[in-house]
Amino acid sequence: MDIAPIPAGLRTDRLAVGPQARGAWPSRLIGESTTAADYRRPPLESYPGRMWSSAQWPRLRLLVGRDRRSLDPASTDMTDNLSRRTYRHRPLVVFVSAMAVLAVVCAVGIVADQRILTGVPIWLKPFKFSVSFVLYGGTLVWLLSLLRRRSRAAEWAVTVVVATGVVEMSIIVGQVIRGTTSHYNQTSALNTVLWQVMGAAIMVLFVAHVVIGVAVLRQPIAGRASRYAIGSGLGLAALGMLVAIPMTLPGQAPAIEGIAGAHSVGVPDGGPGLPLLGWSTTGGDLRIGHFVGLHGMQVLPFVALLLGRFAGGRLDERTRARLLLVVGVGYGAATVLLTWQALRGQPLLRPDTLTLVAAATLAVATVAAATAVLTRHRSSARTVGHRPEGPGEQGRAAPRDGRIVGDERAEVIA
């Protein structure tokens, strides 16, 4: 009879056999000396990547940590649930799709509509907001896919986000059609009401964002690095929302009747700005810190993905998590630094000496912290690598890199 092949890297010293397979395979823990020849079975019909396909034979299910996804690099822990669970919140998926379509419409409007408002094409603001909602909503779709069990609180909070997003974009697009501004506009009773509704909607969205963050982080997420990336990203997005508050403070209001705020500092809104982004090149601009903070929600998981993909074989899970913590703290400090620079009326590309010193200090501190983490990892790896081996423990003292070289556990189920 043919011998079933043992998958490459399978550690037979930890192969646990379930009670359903009694009589087929020995119901005991297989010792280190066990070889494939001791267990005869018909060959697997499809391997790797699939279970036993024949119904009459037990299926071999690889369990590493919590599930078989851990066999892959840590970067896949955060991606392979997406296609299975997007159905959980269809309104969010519909909203993201609608924002993508709206972004295309606004892009056409930028080219076709020659109207200028506050120094930029009138359709530029709804274009930027729709793209931002695509990124934010798409990230929420992904976060929901990570939940191992449904969370009513998270789903209700996402519904609130969708509702506030619809309100926000309806007002912005409606005001563009009317040929006037949406933000800080109190030039008439209608404009005042619309601006107040937008302000209330943003505060509700912030609360919903916090609820989503708590609900997601209360559930187990595969890998410490993934958890640090998601938690840091959610916190940075909340920080990005908070640094926008100075735009609406009374001190920000220009000396123009009916205008209740501004994003530029030291110069009026609508002056010279960077291409596409529109950030002021003659004064401070509070939108910069707002933008950087909000998109930390995408940047931190992307950094985790890169670390898992390109450094997963050299850095263990704990080291990658510590590096992500360093990146997250540095990113948050940069968000605050950019806001501080804007509040002092400085353009992004023309910082003064004090701002340059602060930025250099932040960069040096971040690099030093990352270097300390890597040095500690190398020191720990050398210590583990020189640990004396006991009887029967050959090969177990090798440093673990966080990626599963062999199977931690295997279970045979009927």
- Residue 19 has what pLDDT? 42
Place 307 in a pLDDT band, splitting at 50, 70 and 90. Answer: confident
∠ CA 179-181-187, nearest 5°, is: 100
Query: What percent of the chain has pLDDT above 70?
Result: 67
Q: Are 407 and 62 in contact (CB under 8 A)?
A: yes
pLDDT at 109 over 50: yes
Question: Which burial class, exposed, middle or buried, applies to 270 when counting CB atoms under 10 A from its CB (0-12, 13-18, 19+)?
Answer: middle
pLDDT at 110 over 70: yes
Place 88 in a pLDDT band, splitting at 50, 70 and 90. Answer: low
More confident residue, 18 or 305: 305
pLDDT at 399 over 70: no
pLDDT at 12 over 60: no
- Residue 260 has what pLDDT? 66
Give dist(CA 15, CA 303) in Å, integer. 34
Buried b (16+ CB within 10 A) or exposed e, 164-190: bbbbbbebbbebbeeebbbbbbbbeee
Give dist(CA 171, CA 230) in Å, integer. 31
- Residue 252 has what pLDDT? 62
The answer for residues whose C-beta is within 8 angstroms of residue 61's C-beta and 6 or more apart is 51, 68, 410, 411, 412, 413
The answer for residues whose C-beta is within 8 angstroms of residue 356's C-beta and 6 or more apart is none
Summarize the confidence of residues 83-88 as an average pLDDT. Answer: 48
- Residue 253 has what pLDDT? 59
- Residue 317 has what pLDDT? 84
Q: Are 84 and 69 in contact (CB under 8 A)?
A: no
pLDDT digit string (tens) for 175-234?
999 988 888 888 888 988 998 899 899 999 999 999 998 988 888 776 788 888 898 999
pLDDT at 18 over 50: no
- Residue 41 has what pLDDT? 45
Summarize the confidence of residues 273-298 as an average pLDDT. Answer: 88
pLDDT at 40 over 90: no
Give dist(CA 323, CA 279) in Å, integer. 31
- Residue 103 has what pLDDT? 95
Of 348, 372, 344, 235, nearest to 300 by C-alpha is 235
More confident residue, 313 or 405: 313
Place 323 in a pLDDT band, splitting at 50, 70 and 90. Answer: very high
pLDDT digit string (tens) for 372-387?
988 888 887 667 555 5
Q: Are 46 and 53 in contact (CB under 8 A)?
A: yes
Q: Is 64 helix (H, G, I), strand (E, B) or coil?
A: coil
Taking the domains of the chain in order of start, what are their residue ranges?
12-62, 75-222, 264-383
More confident residue, 79 or 344: 344
- Residue 250 has what pLDDT? 65
Place 341 in a pLDDT band, splitting at 50, 70 and 90. Answer: very high
Summarize the confidence of residues 92-100 as an average pLDDT. Answer: 93
Place 130 in a pLDDT band, splitting at 50, 70 and 90. Answer: very high
CA 404: distance to chain centroid?
A: 23
Mean pLDDT of the chain: 75
Q: Tokens for 239?
A: 């920080």
First-to-last alpha carbon distance for the chain, in angstroms, is 21
pLDDT digit string (tens) for 135-190?
999 999 888 888 878 788 888 999 999 999 999 999 999 999 998 888 888 888 89
pLDDT digit string (tens) for 308-320?
888 767 888 888 8
Count each helix (H run) and each strand (E run) in the chain, helices first: 10, 7
Summarize the confidence of residues 37-56 as an average pLDDT. Answer: 42
pLDDT at 70 over 90: no
Distances (CA, A) of 249 to 8, 182, 244, 263, 330: 63, 17, 10, 10, 27
Give dist(CA 290, CA 334) in Å, integer. 11
Place 257 in a pLDDT band, splitting at 50, 70 and 90. Answer: low
pLDDT at 44 over 80: no
More confident residue, 258 or 345: 345
Question: Which burial class, exposed, middle or buried, applies to 56 when counting CB atoms under 10 A from its CB (0-12, 13-18, 19+)?
Answer: exposed
Q: What is the pTM of this model?
A: 0.69
Q: How many residues does the chain have?
A: 414
More confident residue, 350 or 57: 350
- Residue 365 has what pLDDT? 95
Q: Quick one: CATH architecture of 75-222?
A: Up-down Bundle (1.20)
